[in-house]
Structure 1
Amino acid sequence: MSDDVTTQSGEGSLETVDERVHTFWEVASAHARLNGVPAYFGPNVLDSVPPPAWSFGTGAEEADNLLALVLAGTKTATASAQWDYAADNEPLPEPGALSIILAGTGQPRALIETTDVEIVPFDQVTEEHARLEGEGDLSLDYWREVHEKFFREVATHAHGFVADMPVVCERFRVLYSE
């Protein structure tokens, strides 16, 4: 997120989302006892840089709903189009990677660690993965319906949707939450 994103804090002062993420990271990394985890460093070795901060979904309400599933322990997986990573020049997730999950308001709420990443064709995503995503009735049919729509509507790549498109199936665990 950029430094120009601001929200009104409870005491009436303006606070950037980046400041909230940095504060959350300081607390979360201490609570999660990340001393043994490779550090994310800033301009010098003494500056710890928070991991990427993002929210699930495409809007504030969806972000809050999916975050609630994460905080309840129902959602322990997510999926994304591999082609979007290439189109956005973003690296693929890797086991051990950390992320800060934001609420729809931009408030940091959870620190997660990616535990497993598998790339499979859309039409070969498993029932187990659909269940671990924790959404809807937890069925593969529901997962396919929702994700096909999602991949058609928010793709940043030019390939369009195809049944055998590569999907990044990512599992994660919550290390800390507020």
Structure 2
Amino acid sequence: MTDLWADYVDASPEQAEALPARGPFGDSPALADELLALVLAGGKRATSGPPDPDEPVTVGGHWVVSDGSDRERVILRTTEVRAGRLDSVDDRFAADEGEGDLSRGYWLQEHRTFVRRVLGLSATTDVDDVEMIFERFRVVWPPEHADALD
């Protein structure tokens, strides 16, 4: 098995000092695979979740994304970051996440459930005011999945 990050740095030596985040999307192997499949198909170019103080998201930062079996599959580079309330999501961002019917309503329903689950809150807890990190990204590696540069 090759090291995806090492291969990327070989091709992009200017990234040699970067320290990428590593890990899957979501909070389960099944969700990791589902969301990664959307990225690989080209329909998902955004993600969101409660902030992680141990891994702040920054524009220009990298993320080595693994699948549900913990195999590294793609490298993302953050292009935009915004913090805001969960319910501050707009239609465009919901569509860019590439999930469900791409609507804000679907996004809110699924992300309310997700936030309650990852924060250990009851199913009746109002989470619309929970701070979220809204991140847009592009796929930079491997070449067969990389987005074209604008």
TM-score tier by shorter-chain length is 0.7 to 0.9
Contact 2:80 2:135 in 1 (8 A): yes
Structure 1 segments of 4 or more deviating over 3 A?
Answer: none
Contact 1:78 1:170 in 2 (8 A): yes
CA distance in 1, matches of 2:16, 2:87: 35
Letter in 2 for 1:29: V
Please say if 1:36 is aligned against 2:36.
no
Letter in 1 for 2:12: L
Please say if 1:124 is aligned against 2:88.
yes
Q: How many residues align?
A: 140
Please say if 1:71 is aligned against 2:35.
no
Shift of residue 27, structure 1, vs aligned partner: 1.4
Q: TM-score, normalised by structure 2?
A: 0.84
Equivalent residue number for residue 55 of structure 1? 24
Equivalent residue number for residue 107 of structure 2? 143
Percent identity of the aligned residues? 34
Q: TM-score, normalised by structure 1?
A: 0.71
Contact 2:21 2:63 in 1 (8 A): yes
CA distance in 2, matches of 1:52, 1:91: 7
SS in 2 for 1:104: coil
CA distance in 2, matches of 1:174, 1:145: 27
SS in 1 for 2:3: helix
Please say if 1:168 is aligned against 2:148.
no
Shift of residue 161, structure 1, vs aligned partner: 4.7
CA RMSD of aligned residues (A): 2.1
- What residue ranges of structure 1 are gaps of 5+ in the alignment? 1-19, 41-49
Select the structure of larger CA radius of gyration.
1
Shift of residue 121, structure 1, vs aligned partner: 1.4
Contact 1:151 1:161 in 2 (8 A): no
